């Protein structure tokens, strides 16, 4: 079950938790000590809200591409399908890189990432989630991702001498990927540089980066490159490089989108997921 | 910026490194961001992207003095990077003259 604790005005904290295909998301804000629990489905869409006594405030359901079915009064809630902000007046949801119309299941602008010749769905520049919205989601309007790859737990405290990051990911076969990844010494300054460039913490860079698409790099020792969209929205990717077993972060940096595409086209990079 | 300017500027920066006018850190500071942020995607040929892009990416594997574990995963020190880029430059010159 997923819940968001909400005291309406000032946001105090936000915690995500994933357990057996269930998401727990806690978002606390203060307004006259009112608490609202938001319940999310597996796609991250808000499907219900309850108050602190467990009384149901509203329920919602969605058509496959995100159009609200019940359209019950959600009070001040603006986060609907896949947890994205929805502008009721426009009928559009904001996905970051693009606006999305859940009524027609299409983005309102072309995919800024461009065509990926290895993915037939990318030839339709307006399509959403590879036209398979139960299996895929599009976290920021630029790349469809298997929905269960999105759920990342709150970082655990690790008493390891080496810097580590905790993730709780699953690969396409549903197998858990290492939940603690050490970072080799020389890679840490590269991660710190990215954090400074994008105004984020190093831990955020790694935890966000590990949610990206994984490619085996035949041109570089069989390492695993994980590409995720740049946090500043510019064309290109943040790349985390893992060792061939995916057990540690061994480098990090940025890549131009065209360089990655060329690597895929020439067979240097092959998708793992 | 037109194609020739971007390509010329990238080559000029490599010359600065190879001639000793810049050290590796100065080269990284100038080259890395210029290639990523200022060179339009559609202006370089596939061969140019192979060359210039590989240098940009290799800079993510360069450290002044990598420890043993980092070296095991392919990290280069400054001198090794200089050797590597000289080899790449020679290969590119061969291709250009062919």
Q: Which residues of A touch B37 (CB under 8 A)?
A: 234
CB A249 within 8 A of CB A165: yes
Q: Between residues B6 and A172, which one has the greater pLDDT?
A: B6
Q: How far is CA A273 from CA A161, A181, A250, A270, B54, in A?
A: 31, 19, 20, 9, 25
Q: Between residues B18 and A118, which one has the greater pLDDT?
A: B18
Predicted pLDDT at B2 = 47
Q: Which residues of A touch B75 (CB under 8 A)?
A: 184, 186, 251
Would the CB atoms of A251 and B75 count as touching at under 8 Å?
A: yes
What φ, ψ does residue A239 adopt, rounded to 5°? -115, 125
Mutation site, A187, A250, A259, interface B, largest B CB count within 10 A: A259
Q: Which residues of A touch B69 (CB under 8 A)?
A: 184-185
H/E stretch holding B57 reads: helix B54-58
Over residues B38-47, mean pLDDT: 87
The SS3 of residue B73 is coil
CB A112 within 8 A of CB A98: yes
Q: Which residues of A touch B49 (CB under 8 A)?
A: 256, 258-259, 262
Q: Is A253 on the interface with B (CB under 8 A)?
A: yes
pLDDT tens-digit profile, chain A (273 residues): 344 444 333 333 333 333 333 333 334 334 456 778 888 888 888 888 888 888 888 888 998 899 988 877 766 777 889 988 887 767 788 898 888 999 889 998 888 888 877 778 888 888 999 888 888 888 888 877 776 555 433 322 223 334 444 444 433 333 334 435 899 999 999 999 999 999 999 999 999 899 888 999 998 989 999 999 899 888 889 999 999 999 999 999 999 988 988 888 888 998 886
Q: How many CB atoms lie within 10 A of CB A219?
A: 14
Predicted pLDDT at A49 = 85
Residue B77's closest chain A neighbor by CA?
A186
Q: Could you give the CA distance from residue A190 to residue A58 in angstroms, rounded to a whole number? A: 46
Residue A268's closest chain B neighbor by CA?
B50
Task: Please report the DSSP string for chain A in residue order.
Answer: ----EE-SSEEEEEEEEEETTEEEEEEEEESTT--EEEEE-TTS-EEEEEETT--EEEE--B-TTS-BSS----TT--B-GGG-BEETTTTEEE-SSSEEETTTTEESS--TT---TT-GGGGSTTBSGGG-TTTEE-SSSS--EEGGGS--PPPPP---SS-EEE---B-TTSPBP-SEEEB-TTHHHHHHHHHHHHT--HHHHHHHHTTSEEEEETTTTTEEEEEEE-TT--SSEEEEEE-TTS-SEEEEEEE-HHHHHHHHHTTSEEE--
Predicted pLDDT at A150 = 54
Residue A250's closest chain B neighbor by CA?
B73
Q: Which 45-64 residues of chain B touch chain A by CB within 8 A?
A: 46, 49-50, 53, 56-57, 59-61, 63
What φ, ψ does residue B41 adopt, rounded to 5°? -55, -35
Q: Which residues of A touch B60 (CB under 8 A)?
A: 190, 239, 241, 251-253
Quick one: how far is CA A51 from the chain centroid? 27
Question: How high is the ipTM of this complex?
Answer: 0.92
Q: Is A221 on the interface with B (CB under 8 A)?
A: yes
Q: What is the mean pLDDT of chain B?
A: 91
Q: How many CB atoms lie within 10 A of CB A8?
A: 14
Q: Could you give the CA distance from residue A27 to residue A31 in angstroms, rounded to a whole number? A: 13
């Amino acid at each position: 079950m997923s819940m968001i604790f909400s005291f309406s005005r000032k946001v105090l904290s936000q915690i995500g938790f994933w357990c057996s295909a269930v998401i727990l998301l806690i978002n606390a804000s203060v307004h006259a000590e009112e608490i609202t629990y938001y319940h999310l489905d597996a796609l991250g869409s808000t499907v219900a809200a309850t108050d602190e006594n467990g009384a149901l405030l509203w329920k919602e359901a969605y058509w496959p591409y995100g159009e609200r079915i019940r359209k019950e009064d959600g009070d001040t809630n603006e986060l609907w399908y896949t947890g994205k902000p929805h502008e009721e007046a426009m009928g559009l949801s904001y996905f970051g890189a693009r606006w999305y119309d859940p009524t027609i299941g299409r983005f309102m602008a072309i995919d800024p990432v461009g065509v990926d010749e290895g993915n037939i769905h990318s030839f339709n520049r307006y399509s959403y989630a590879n036209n398979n919205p139960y299996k895929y989601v599009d976290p920021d309007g630029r790349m469809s991702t298997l929905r269960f790859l999105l759920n990342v737990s709150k970082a655990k405290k690790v008493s390891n001498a080496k810097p580590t990051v905790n993730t709780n990911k699953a690969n396409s076969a549903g197998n858990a990927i290492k939940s603690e990844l050490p970072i080799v010494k020389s890679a840490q300054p590269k991660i710190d540089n990215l954090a400074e460039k994008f105004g984020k913490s190093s831990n955020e860079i790694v935890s966000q980066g590990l949610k990206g698409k994984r490619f085996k790099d035949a041109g570089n020792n069989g390492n695993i490159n994980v590409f995720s969209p740049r946090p500043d929205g510019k064309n290109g990717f943040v790349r985390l490089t893992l060792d061939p077993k995916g057990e540690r972060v061994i480098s990090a940096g940025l890549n131009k989108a065209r360089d990655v595409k060329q690597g895929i086209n020439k067979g240097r990079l092959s998708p793992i997921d | 910026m037109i194609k020739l300017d971007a390509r010329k500027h990238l080559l000029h920066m490599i010359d600065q490194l190879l001639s000793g006018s810049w050290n590796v850190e100065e080269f990284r500071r100038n080259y890395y961001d210029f290639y990523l942020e200022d060179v339009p995607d559609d202006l370089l040929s596939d061969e140019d992207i192979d060359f210039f892009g590989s240098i940009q990416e290799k800079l993510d594997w360069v450290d002044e003095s990598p420890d043993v574990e980092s070296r095991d995963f392919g990290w280069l020190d400054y001198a090794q990077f200089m050797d590597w880029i000289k080899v790449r430059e020679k290969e590119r010159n061969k291709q250009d003259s062919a």
